[in-house]
Structure 1
Amino acid sequence: MDSEKDIITPTVYAPNLHLFAFHLWRGLTGESDSLASNRHQLWQKADEILQGLGFTERLHIPGYPNNSEEPPGAQINLHPQNKLELTGKLPNSDLTITGLLFAHRLYDSYSLTVNLRRPEQENQQKTAEVPISFWRNLNTERLIFLPSFVDSSLGQTLLLTAFLPDSHCNKTAEDLQDLARSCLKQVIPSRKIELPALCKMGELWGSPLFEFGGQVLDKNMEEEAEVTPHILIYLFRNKFSSAKFEGAYLQFINLFYYRNKVISAYLKTRNLHRKTYAIYTKLEKKVRSFKKELIENTTCLALTEVQLEQLKMVLKELAALDLEYARLLRNYKHCQNTISINTKNYQVTLEDIVKILPQHKERVNPEDLDFFREFGTQTSGYFQSRISDELNYFVEGSNLSDKAIASIRGIVEIEQTQRDRRLEQQNETLEDQIQAVGVGIATGAIIASTSPLIFQQEKISFPWEASHGDRLHPFMLALLLSLGSAVVAWWVAKGLIGWGRKRRLRQKQESKN
């Protein structure tokens, strides 16, 4: 622990520690395969906290430690007795401490609430003030109430409450800053963990309230974003403020739940922004490379086989990047919707607090909750505005990828069509050559088959001779008949081939239409 000691250790009356931790239970669908793999981690941490403080009680609720079925519903108190009551001793002290533990299921999440306190009365007598080191002993050497130990997936809020000594009751919030920071140091040893900054101070129902941390730190594009510990310190001036807080305790559980859902979703967008930007950069490089390739090949009549294969590889890479890019954008938009929905729920819960307290005979005005209302109007509003701007920027990257993929596919299809036409022309030329060769072979065969007639005893006479014979020589007659038959056969074969080619072309066009 921090070895620094104040000359005069401040004291407070009836100090309380409230842990509000939230952990994801399931995904979007709610099906069994969408349940979080470590959904019972929060309950395990609750048992570790009880064990670390020397309590013999353990958490026994539906689904934990046995895999029994949980009751249905959107907002469910999972504890059979609604709450687990605790009584014990402060570690390393004889001081009695009491407490309550709540286990809720809120929509898609689990909620753990631990309240440990020094009682206001013992044996019907008011207890004495205790040093603020009470919180240090309660947190133990393991710092069991900090995010590093609880490690809840949706974050947590730690609230310290206590009654101010009579000598401090008339001091303003500005005058009590040093006391609030001293209380903060009791749960966060400065030598182990950096103290979160004071983000806001004000008053809630007439008593000073200080907010430390709870900010998303997005350092750069290379490291994971993180959230500083969120710690509230509420110092009561009177019983009136304490009673109002107790009267709306369950509403405050919901309020901190919605707040942490918003912060958790925004934290995810910071990491999604880094990943999406990296994919966007790769897409831009691929598109530029493709554009350069097009410019260099404007004078070429046709793409080579190597160039065509390169284009196909670029197409596959772009398609894979575009698919991953679309997945990241989908998650981005889901986080945006989560922030929007939970911001509205946060604001509704504030109104519920205003409505519920008069039922407890505690008068409250809406402006009393302005300390918390700022998160729903300004902080969350900034989150949503920033995400919208980033999504508008990244959507252009998706359009760029779609156009590049469409262009490459068009080029490949055109090139393939041209290759098919060239191949068809080559085939036609080859067919013509085969036909010519066939004619030559047939002619040679005809001559070869009729050549023996040349040696007939009859003299060969020709029409232009004055003394030609009365009839043609057998060789001439056979040759003329063979050539005539060949011409007729060639003409018929040519007609049939042309008709068949036109018929196939017509069928191909009809299938395309």
Structure 2
Amino acid sequence: MSEIIYPTLDLFLYDLRDGLGENAGEIADNKDRFLQKLPARIRSAIEQRDAAVEAEYVELLGNRGREQFNSSSQNYTLKGYYYPVRLGDSYGLLLDCSVEHSLGHPDRSQTEAFLVSCFADLKAELDRRLADSKSTIGQVWMVSGQIPNFTPDRAESVAQACCQIPELELDWDRDFRSKSQFAGGILFEFWRYRFNSPDRSSNSESNPICNIHQLQDNYLVLIALYPNSETARKASEINFDWLRLFAYRSKILWAYGQSQYLRQKLKYRFVLIQQYLKDFDRAKTRNLNLKQLRKTLVDAQNTLANYSIDLNYLNTQKRTIEVNLLNYGRRLKRMKQRLTEFQAVSDMEFLKKFSDNVEARYLVQIERDYESFSLGVTLLGELINSIRGVTEIDQSERDRNFQNTVAILGVGLAAGSIVASIATQFPGASDPKEAAKYPLGSTLSQLGIPDPWLVPAISTTASLGIGIMAGLLTALVIKLSWFFRKD
């Protein structure tokens, strides 16, 4: 039978306080989201200590540190506490709950052995206190307790029994990763990770991601089992180191999840870039549609702006992982030093394996993605310059043709006006009979122009003819000038 003494369930939960580029309103929303996880009676005290200046580590309840609570389930008396902290640009919360004794038996406090099924009551209590609110960065569960007549095999049997509790959502075959000696006891690691592609379109800027659980399934549970109360008490002193270590781990996976989301958006926009290039190539082989090219230019410029922002954010996630990986290694080293003081064998290799995996896999993948997608900026820049060049040349050609047309018409009209003004100065210009003696007047007369209209007809025809000839001569001169200029 799987029994455990002083069963305890701890939740290490992390929320974003002030993300990159967030304004005062968004920061206030982040704070409110975190405060909703805490009892109303302590929220004002936390707000007073949550200064605007960034701090590496602040106990948000001051010297009192923790906010204790007492509760009960149908079968057990429960006891726990809230321990909220500020961790740089994030919030951290250690929410602890233990079974003190079965109902009606306070004399058995911290010595009574319970079936491992009691963890279902502990999980329900913590879920009730959180009111199903999710963390925005990540969370880690730790199951712990003492085993009567402790042996490694018995510890493994208890850990397997914990996997049978539906509320813990564990599967031994699927989630078990490793076991190691820890502070005189045994620590079992259960972890599953999977990136969840958002259901909405990758290029949509609406419905922002509010918590990391929308992007990834990251579920880590540690089961720590000890041979006696003394060992368990010493191990509990490491809880505040766990709080920081899990903060770095959660921030790493949070940044990695963000990077994969950005990768999807960049892939979507890279497809748009390729489509713009195809449209431009087709446009060059046909009569240019200046209006369509301008639309493509505007779309490409908007895509470039969004693409560049996402690409920079991708690089930011890489730096976030690097910084937190460095802090993770330092905290792990500190924990190892503290554990040596217990004079008990502790193997933290599985924690080191995580950091090695991040360095060898996650960082490398983000670096490759950044290098690959950087090509999109170059392609878009060249496309925009090409479209601008074509549209400017086409517009210049249109402007030049317009100017040439204006010049030809201007010269023609001017020449015609001059002819019209001097035509009336010739001898007999106002006499139809005299005008009919000239070739132009004779021709117009033969064409049936009445004598009263003959003089104005001669003037109009002469001015039009001279105007047309002057215009044609001007067009020839313009064409020859462009020909010699090209040579």
- TM-score norm. by structure 2 comes to 0.76
> Once the two structures are superposed, what CA deviation does each residue of 1:324-376 show, in whole Å capped at 9, x if it has no partner?
21222122222221111111111111122234456xx43478x8322211111
Alpha-carbon distance in 2 for matches of 1:438, 1:17: 103
- Indicate yes or no: 2:17 matched with 1:25: yes
Q: Give 2:132's match in structure 1, choosing from 149, 165, 188.
A: 149
> Alpha-carbon deviation of 1:63?
6.0
8 Å CA contact retained: 1:203, 1:371: no
Distance 1:187 1:117, change over 3 A: farther
One-letter amino acid of the counterpart of residue 121, structure 2: N
Alpha-carbon distance in 1 for matches of 2:396, 2:178: 68
Which residue of structure 2 aligns with residue 44 of structure 1? 36
Q: Give 2:160's match in structure 1, choosing from 166, 173, 181.
A: 181
Structure 1, 114-123 or 267-276: larger mean CA deviation:
114-123
Q: Give 2:56's match in structure 1, choosing from 69, 74, 81.
A: 74
Distance 1:59 1:348, change over 3 A: farther
One-letter amino acid of the counterpart of residue 50, structure 2: E
One-letter amino acid of the counterpart of residue 393, structure 2: I
Alpha-carbon distance in 2 for matches of 1:90, 1:195: 33
One-letter amino acid of the counterpart of residue 258, structure 2: K
Which residue of structure 1 aligns with residue 94 of structure 2? 113
Alpha-carbon distance in 1 for matches of 2:386, 2:110: 81
Q: Give 1:16's match in structure 2, choosing from 1, 4, 8.
A: 8
Which residue of structure 2 aligns with residue 389 of structure 1? 368
Which residue of structure 2 aligns with residue 511 of structure 1? none
8 Å CA contact retained: 1:20, 1:111: yes
> Once the two structures are superposed, what CA deviation does each residue of 1:372-431 show, in whole Å capped at 9, x if it has no partner?
111112235411111111122211122211111111011011111122222222222122
- The 5 A counterparts of 1:227-306 are 227-238=217-228, 241-294=231-284, 296-297=285-286, 303=288
Distance 1:127 1:429, change over 3 A: same
Distance 1:340 1:36, change over 3 A: farther
> Alpha-carbon deviation of 1:92?
0.8
One-letter amino acid of the counterpart of residue 399, structure 1: T
Which residue of structure 2 aligns with residue 412 of structure 1? 391
Q: Give 1:362's match in structure 2, choosing from 324, 342, 356.
A: 342
Q: SS of the residue aligned with 2:29?
A: coil
Distance 1:330 1:249, change over 3 A: same
One-letter amino acid of the counterpart of residue 208, structure 1: I
Q: SS of the residue aligned with 1:149?
A: coil
> Alpha-carbon deviation of 1:62?
4.4
> Alpha-carbon deviation of 1:188?
2.4
- Indicate yes or no: 2:93 matched with 1:101: no
One-letter amino acid of the counterpart of residue 386, structure 2: S
Which residue of structure 2 aligns with residue 491 of structure 1? none
Percentage identity across paired residues of the two chains: 21
Alpha-carbon distance in 1 for matches of 2:418, 2:90: 86
> Once the two structures are superposed, what CA deviation does each residue of 1:218-276 show, in whole Å capped at 9, x if it has no partner?
46998964214221111123556535533332221100111111111111222222222
Which residue of structure 1 aligns with residue 472 of structure 2? none
Which residue of structure 2 aligns with residue 346 of structure 1? 328
Alpha-carbon distance in 1 for matches of 2:77, 2:141: 21
- Indicate yes or no: 2:62 matched with 1:83: no
One-letter amino acid of the counterpart of residue 219, structure 2: P
- TM-score norm. by structure 1 comes to 0.72
> Once the two structures are superposed, what CA deviation does each residue of 1:438-480 show, in whole Å capped at 9, x if it has no partner?
221222132279869x99xxxxxxxxxxxxxxxxxxxxxxxxx
Structure 1, 285-294 or 309-318: larger mean CA deviation:
285-294
Alpha-carbon distance in 2 for matches of 1:220, 1:154: 17
8 Å CA contact retained: 2:99, 2:122: no
> Alpha-carbon deviation of 1:217?
3.2
Count matched residues.
Answer: 417
Which residue of structure 1 aligns with residue 443 of structure 2? none
8 Å CA contact retained: 2:77, 2:99: yes
> Once the two structures are superposed, what CA deviation does each residue of 1:288-342 show, in whole Å capped at 9, x if it has no partner?
1211222x23xx6xx4xxx111111111111122222122212222222111111
Alpha-carbon distance in 2 for matches of 1:30, 1:438: 71
Q: SS of the residue aligned with 1:86?
A: strand
Alpha-carbon distance in 2 for matches of 1:75, 1:281: 44
Give unmatched runs, 5+ long, in structure 1. 1-7, 48-57, 456-513
Alpha-carbon distance in 2 for matches of 1:445, 1:241: 125
**Which of the pair has more CA radius of gyration?**
1
8 Å CA contact retained: 1:84, 1:100: yes
Alpha-carbon distance in 1 for matches of 2:277, 2:315: 25
Distance 1:424 1:310, change over 3 A: same
> Alpha-carbon deviation of 1:123?
6.0
8 Å CA contact retained: 2:7, 2:146: yes
Alpha-carbon distance in 1 for matches of 2:339, 2:216: 36
Distance 1:322 1:197, change over 3 A: same
- Indicate yes or no: 2:140 matched with 1:140: no
One-letter amino acid of the counterpart of residue 292, structure 2: Q
Give unmatched runs, 5+ long, in structure 2. 202-213, 435-487
